[in-house]
Amino acid sequence: MSVLVYIDHAGGKLKKAALEATTYASKVAQKTGGEVTAIALGSIDEGALAALGAYGATKVLKAGESHFDNFDAGAYTKAIAKAVEQTAAQVVIFTHNSSGKSLAPRVSARLKAGMVAGAIDVPNTDGGFSVRKSVFSGKAFADYQIHTDVKVISLNPNSIPVEKGDGSAAVASFDSGVSAADFRIKVLERSTSTDSIPLPEAELVVSAGRGLKGPENWGMIDELAAELNAATACSRPVSDVGWRPHHEHVGQTGITVRPNLYIAIGISGAIQHLAGVNNSKVIVVINKDSEAPFFKAADYGIVGDAFDVVPKLIDAVKAFKAQA
Amino acid sequence: MKVLVCISQTPDTTAKIAFTDGNTQFNKDGVTYIMNPTDEWYALVRAIEVKEQAGGSVTVVNVGTADNDPIIRKALAIGADDAVRIDCDPKDAYEVAAQIAEYAKAEGFDIVFTGKETIDYNGFTVGGMLAELMDLPYISMATHMSLEGNTATIDREIEGGQEKAQVDTPFLISANKGLAEQRIPNMRGIMMSKRKPLKVVAAADIAALSTISSYELPPQRSSVTLVDPENPAELIRLLHEEAKVI
Ligand SMILES: Cc1cc2nc3c(=O)[nH]c(=O)nc-3n(C[C@H](O)[C@H](O)[C@H](O)COP(=O)(O)OP(=O)(O)OC[C@H]3O[C@@H](n4cnc5c(N)ncnc54)[C@H](O)[C@@H]3O)c2cc1C
Query: At B61, phi and psi to the nearest 5?
Result: -125, 140
Predicted local confidence at residue B8, as pLDDT: 98
Which residue, judged by its Cα, is nearest atom 36 of ligand 1?
A211
pTM as predicted = 0.95
- How far from B211 is each of A159, B28, B94, B115, CA to CA, in Å? 22, 18, 11, 22
Q: Band of the pLDDT at A200, cuts 50, 70, 90?
A: confident
pLDDT at A115 over 70: yes
Q: Which H helix or E strand runs over B73? A: helix B69-78
Q: Band of the pLDDT at A156, cuts 50, 70, 90?
A: very high
Out of B19, B163, B235, name the one closest to residue A187 (CB). B163
pLDDT at A185 over 90: yes
Percent of chain A with pLDDT over 90: 93
Whole-complex ipTM: 0.96
Work out how many domains chain A is built from and give that number.
Answer: 2
Out of A15, A73, A145, name the one closest to residue B128 (CB). A73
Q: Are residues A141 and A238 in the same domain?
A: no
Nearest-CA neighbor of B146 among A188, A262, A277? A188
The alpha carbon of A202 and the centre of ligand 1 are apart by a number of angstroms equal to 22
Nearest-CA neighbor of B75 among B115, B103, B40? B40
Residue A191 inside a domain? The answer is no
Q: How far apart are CA A129 and CA A131, in angstroms?
A: 7
The residue from A182, A213, A243 where one domain ends is A182
Q: Does B189 touch chain A (CB under 8 A)?
A: no
Give the pairing type, strands A140-146 and B210-216. antiparallel
Q: Are residues A213 and A134 in the same domain?
A: no
What's the CATH code of the domain at B50? 3.40.50.620
What's the CATH code of the domain at A237? 3.40.50.1220
What DSSP string describes A10-51?
Answer: ETTEE-HHHHHHHHHHHHHHHHHT--EEEEEESS--HHHHHG
Q: How far apart are CA A94 and CA A5, in angstroms?
A: 6
Q: Are residues A136 and A271 in the same domain?
A: no
pLDDT, averaged across chain A: 96
The residue from A182, A212, A233 where one domain ends is A182
SS3 label, residue A8:
coil
Q: Which H helix or E strand runs over B58? A: strand B57-64
Residues of A in contact with B229 (CB under 8 A): 302-305, 308-309, 312
Indicate the burial class of B51 (C-beta count within 10 angstroms; 0-12, 13-18, 19 or more).
middle
User: Region A95-121: what's the mean pLDDT?
Assistant: 97
- Count of all residues that appear for chain A in the document: 324
Q: Band of the pLDDT at A198, cuts 50, 70, 90?
A: confident
Predicted local confidence at residue A195, as pLDDT: 66
Select the residue from B8, B19, B27, B209 to test the A interface by mutation, using most A Cβ atoms within 10 A.
B209
Q: Band of the pLDDT at A287, cuts 50, 70, 90?
A: very high
How far is B144 from chain A, CA to nearest CA, in Å?
12
Q: Mind listing the pLDDT tens digit for each residue in B10-28?
A: 999 999 999 999 999 999 9
How far is B186 from chain A, CA to nearest CA, in Å?
22
User: Region B161-189: what's the mean pLDDT?
Assistant: 96
Residue partners of B206: CB distance under 8 A and separation at least 6: B95, B98, B99, B102
Residue A188 inside a domain? The answer is no
Does the N-terminal peptide bond of residue B170 adopt cis geometry, omega within 30 degrees of 0? yes
- Is there a contact between B245 and A204 if contact means CB atoms under 8 Å apart? yes
User: Region B153-177: what's the mean pLDDT?
Assistant: 94
Predicted local confidence at residue B220, as pLDDT: 86
Residues of A in contact with B240 (CB under 8 A): 320
pLDDT, averaged across chain B: 97
User: Region A119-126: what's the mean pLDDT?
Assistant: 97
- Is there a contact between A312 and B230 if contact means CB atoms under 8 Å apart? yes
Residue B241 inside a domain? The answer is no
Binding site membership of A276 for ligand 1 (Cβ less than 6 Å)? yes
How many Cα atoms within 13 Å fall on the side-chain side of residue B227?
A: 23
pLDDT at A193 over 80: no
Q: Band of the pLDDT at B159, cuts 50, 70, 90?
A: confident
Q: Mind listing the pLDDT tens digit for each residue in A292-319?
A: 999 999 999 999 999 999 999 999 999 9
Q: How far apart are CA A243 and CA B229, in angstroms?
A: 26
Predicted local confidence at residue A151, as pLDDT: 98
Q: Does B113 touch chain A (CB under 8 A)?
A: no
Work out how many domains chain B is built from and give that number.
Answer: 1
Q: Mind listing the pLDDT tens digit for each residue in B179-203?
A: 999 999 999 999 999 999 999 999 9
Residues of B in contact with A188 (CB under 8 A): 153, 164-166
User: Region A186-199: what's the mean pLDDT?
Assistant: 84
Residue A190 inside a domain? The answer is no
Q: Domain span at residue B184?
A: 2-220
Residue B62 inside a domain? The answer is yes
Among chain A residues, the shortest Cα distance to B166 is held by A186
Nearest-CA neighbor of B39 among B139, B168, B177, B134? B177
Nearest-atom number in ligand 1 for the CA of A251 is: 8
Nearest-atom number in ligand 1 for the CA of A307 is: 41
What's the CATH code of the domain at A57? 3.40.50.620
pLDDT at B32 over 90: yes
Q: Are residues A13 and A70 in the same domain?
A: yes
Which is higher by pLDDT, A198 or B119? Answer: B119
Q: Are residues A99 and A34 in the same domain?
A: yes
Give the pairing type, strands B57-64 and B2-6. parallel
Out of A128, A253, A319, name the one closest to residue B233 (CB). A319
Residue B198 inside a domain? The answer is yes
Q: Does A117 touch chain B (CB under 8 A)?
A: yes
How far is B133 from chain A, CA to nearest CA, in Å?
7
pLDDT at A194 over 70: no
Percent of chain B with pLDDT over 70: 100
Q: Domain span at residue A88?
A: 3-182
Q: How far apart are CA A210 and CA A11, in angstroms?
A: 36
Q: Band of the pLDDT at A265, cuts 50, 70, 90?
A: very high
Q: Are residues A8 and A155 in the same domain?
A: yes
Q: Does A170 touch chain B (CB under 8 A)?
A: no
Q: How far apart are CA B176 and CA A247, in angstroms?
A: 10
Q: Are residues A241 and A314 in the same domain?
A: yes
Let me know: does A50 contact A158? Beta carbons within 8 Å. no
- Of chain A residues 63-82, which have a CB less than 8 A from chain B? 71-74, 77
Q: Does B209 touch chain A (CB under 8 A)?
A: yes
